[in-house]
Amino acid sequence: MASLNPYGKFNEVDQERLLARPKTKKRIAIIALSSIVLAAIVVGAVLGTSHGNNKSSKNGDVQSISTSVKAVCDGTLYPSTCYTTLAPLVQNLTQVNPEQLFKLSVQLAINELLRASQKFSQNEGVFGNVTDPIYVAALENCRVLFDLALDHLNNSLSSTVSLVNAIDDFTTWLSTAGTCQQTCIDGFQNAPLQTSVESSLRNSTELTSIGLAIIRPGASTKIRVKWKGLKLNLGNKDASKFTVKQFINGNKWIPSNVPYNPSL
Ligand SMILES: *[C@@H]1O[C@H](CO)[C@@H](O)[C@H](O)[C@H]1NC(C)=O
Ligand SMILES: *[C@@H]1O[C@H](CO)[C@@H](O)[C@H](O)[C@H]1NC(C)=O
Ligand SMILES: *[C@@H]1O[C@H](CO)[C@@H](O)[C@H](O)[C@H]1NC(C)=O
Ligand SMILES: *[C@@H]1O[C@H](CO)[C@@H](O)[C@H](O)[C@H]1NC(C)=O
């Protein structure tokens, strides 16, 4: 049984054409290496499907698409959210690769975060009646964090560099976006609003995590630990330190620049 190539872009024909050009050899090596990384998650999808010769069978394609999506989603922390949101979006395609699923999950994360951020908007949001200065400050922090998170998510959608050639950048964008959202949530620890804030951001945080897990199979658990471990003091006096400037400082902001207390 021949194996299904999960990446439409990197089929044998393309490989041969590209390999024929010496200048692109290094690039091919990078692509090949990155493909191996990405391939790890779709290994399950390879089993039980055959290569290219089931075009006549629409059913077979549908089945292999959903098997591929399921295999990718099983590598995430939220397999059921992943599958139920992504599978319907690719059901009509004849082929799907992790990069497409990644882009879709990022696009959905953006949509959900935009939706959630409306709830946090000043005055008109559902948190508009909050008067406790601690939480007024925490809400303001969330608005700043959402903008940062959206920028980083948007970077990974608008990047002209392909995923496989810049996996570290994409990882940084996604984990930063996740950290921003988690940091917003952390500002409401033990607060009456905590549950409400968490549930407002559940979809966007899950989709961000899913996007990350798609490009970094096996990394999602570590990333989750990192998100949880990020500790910013948003109490009275510390809230003022937590400004846009602090985040914008250094144009390559990464989570490790943020005060971090490993003991918590
Ligand atoms: C898939 O095809 C069906 C039937 O043509 C259509 O109703 C549906 O909207 C399509 N779904 C997507 C995600 O394009
Ligand atoms: C704000 O209003 C919502 C209903 O819109 C209510 O459930 C919540 O308890 C209120 N919060 C405060 C702090 O008054
Ligand atoms: C994302 O970036 C594009 C261009 O790169 C821009 O047009 C768009 O407004 C940005 N969207 C958000 C939500 O920032
Ligand atoms: C999260 O997504 C589900 C499914 O799309 C939707 O029903 C729910 O309203 C969303 N939750 C929020 C807080 O937007």
pLDDT at 123: 75
Q: pLDDT tens for residues 122-141?
A: 877 788 888 899 999 999 99
Domain boundaries of the chain, sorted by first residue: 12-223, 234-264
From 66, 86, 92, mutation site for ligand 1 pocket: most ligand atoms within 8 A of C-beta: 92
Nearest Cα residue to 101 out of 119, 83, 78: 83
Distance from Cα 158 to the centre of ligand 3, integer Å: 8
- pLDDT band of residue 202 (cuts 50, 70, 90) is very high
- 154: Cβ below 6 Å to ligand 3? yes
Enter the CATH code of domain 12-223: 1.20.140.40
3-state SS assignment for residue 78 = coil
Alpha-carbon span 169 to 156, nearest angstrom? 8
Distances (CA, A) of 114 to 40, 105, 190, 199, 249: 32, 14, 25, 14, 24
Minimum-distance ligand 1 atom for the alpha carbon of 92: 1
Return the residue matching tokens 């295999």.
71
Minimum-distance ligand 1 atom for the alpha carbon of 90: 13
Alpha-carbon span 180 to 216, nearest angstrom? 19
Residues 217, 73 contacting (CB under 8 angstroms): no
Q: Which residue has the higher pLDDT, 106 or 37?
A: 106
Mean pLDDT for all residues in the chain? 70
Does this model's pTM top 0.75? My answer is no
Q: pLDDT tens for residues 207-254?
A: 999 999 999 876 545 444 344 433 333 332 333 222 222 333 222 333
- 200: Cβ below 6 Å to ligand 4? yes
What ligand has the least distance to the C-alpha of 62? 1
- pLDDT band of residue 61 (cuts 50, 70, 90) is low
Sorted by sequence, the CB contacts under 8 Å of residue 62 that are 6+ apart come out as: 91
Alpha-carbon span 141 to 16, nearest angstrom? 51
* Phi-psi group of 123: left, alpha or beta (phi > 0 → left; psi -120 to 50 → alpha; rest → beta): left
What ligand has the least distance to the C-alpha of 188? 2
How confident is the model over 56-83, as a mean pLDDT?
Answer: 82
Residues 106, 157 contacting (CB under 8 angstroms): yes
Distance from Cα 137 to the centre of ligand 2, integer Å: 17
What ligand has the least distance to the C-alpha of 92? 1
Q: pLDDT tens for residues 84-99?
A: 999 999 988 988 888 9
